[in-house]
Amino acid sequence: MPVELLGKSIEELRGYFASLGEAPYRAKQLYRALYAERRFDFAAMTNLPAALRERLSAEARISLPVVARRFLSADGSVRFLMALAADAGRPAQIEAVFMPADGRQTICISTQAGCAVDCHFCLTAQLGLIRNLTAGEIVGQALVALAEHGEAALAPRTNVVLMGQGEPLLNYEPVMAAVRIMLDAEGMAISPRHVTLSTSGIVPGIERLAAETVRPKLAISLNASNDEQRDAVMPINRKYPLAQLLDACQRYPLRTWESLTFEYVLLGGVNDAPEDARRVARLVANLRAKVNLIPWNPGALPYRSPGAARVEEFRRALADKGVPTFVRFSRGQDVFAACGQLALVETSAGALPVLPSH
């Protein structure tokens, strides 16, 4: 069985090359070819000697996720349905989204196939957890999205957001292995300012992330202004209630340039009242944080849009309390490509894409 090299760290590649009896510096050459130059064919790694390239072709492999379907939006974003190899676990399909915008590009990637967290506004939740992704499958989504966009790959600012299917902090090790490759100057060399991990509020995971020296920015999916409300839309809140979650946020060691992001999906008639805004302002009052408001788009789930006036009222109430607040509209609505927890319902008639959550 060929050895899978995608997702391996420089140390792991050194170990692999040592097992082949090759010099350790070959590992760095391959690491750079794979992640910095994004060459996925051993034959194209001309920095390696021909004999080694041949040996690698026979004994190793680089398995990128395979694009099964592309959905192109009028706004330029592309939603990819990607198929993952069965031999990394159960076969699975996941989604990634590429969103270009004025000199920058944002890639939204998945960390699990399906999800066990069960947020009620999220269609991925309905899939349950199919399986965790490997580090290679996680970083591979970003590599594929960049490869698909040729020239766009050269844009100066690439953002990666871990906001696709899955709860990243419940697949901690592979997620962090992928993030280290993205942030490594010898790897994909993306700035830590431009990689964001979004969690539903897994407190032990936040605490673990706080202890990392290399880490992405942190976003928390809040979506409610009190425990009762959050219990109703995000049952994970019963395990990690708001006080515990906000305490972990309080203790989170922000870097000088960094702030926390709270995502708040505005669900009409559920969590969008002016008193909700005032409570949210109180929750985040002592944190260096900003709030992203994401108005709900009606879809397969029984929630309704908050309406433009309500959104503006909510934004203003937070801003008036000094909380930096932004309204974010999901991209690629026409192809169901909003960057959030994407879901796919397989029907007997084929793959039916449905609207994601946040």
Positions that interact with ligand SF4 (CB under 6 A): 115, 117-119, 122, 124-125, 165-167, 200, 341, 357
Q: Which is nearer to ligand SF4, 56 or 343 (CB)?
A: 343
Closest CA to 76 of 139, 17, 149: 149
Distances 138 to 91, 160, 168, 178, 292 between C-alpha atoms, Å: 15, 11, 10, 6, 25
- 95, 137, 167, 263: which one is catalytic? 95
Q: Is 339 known to be catalytic?
A: yes
Q: Which long-range contacts (CB under 8 A, 24 or more apart) does 142-145 make?
A: 142/96, 142/107, 142/109, 142/182, 142/188, 143/35, 143/38, 143/40, 143/64, 143/188, 144/64, 144/65, 144/67, 144/80, 144/82, 144/96, 145/78, 145/80, 145/96, 145/98, 145/107, 145/109
Check if the beta carbon of residue 126 is closer than 8 Å to that of residue 343.
yes
Q: Which is nearer to ligand SF4, 113 or 146 (CB)?
A: 113
The amino acid at 118: D
* Beta carbon of residue 339, minimum distance to ligand SF4 (angstroms, whole number): 12
Burial class (CB in 10 A: 0-12, 13-18, 19+), 74: exposed
Q: Is 22 known to be catalytic?
A: no
Q: Which is nearer to ligand SF4, 189 or 352 (CB)?
A: 352
* Beta carbon of residue 150, minimum distance to ligand SF4 (angstroms, whole number): 30
Q: Which is nearer to ligand SF4, 119 or 281 (CB)?
A: 119
- 108, 119, 249, 339: which one is catalytic? 339
* Beta carbon of residue 27, minimum distance to ligand SF4 (angstroms, whole number): 35
Q: Which is nearer to ligand SF4, 32 or 120 (CB)?
A: 120
* Beta carbon of residue 30, minimum distance to ligand SF4 (angstroms, whole number): 33
Distance separating alpha carbons of residues 77 and 105, to the nearest angstrom: 9
* Beta carbon of residue 172, minimum distance to ligand SF4 (angstroms, whole number): 14
Residues labelled catalytic: 95, 339
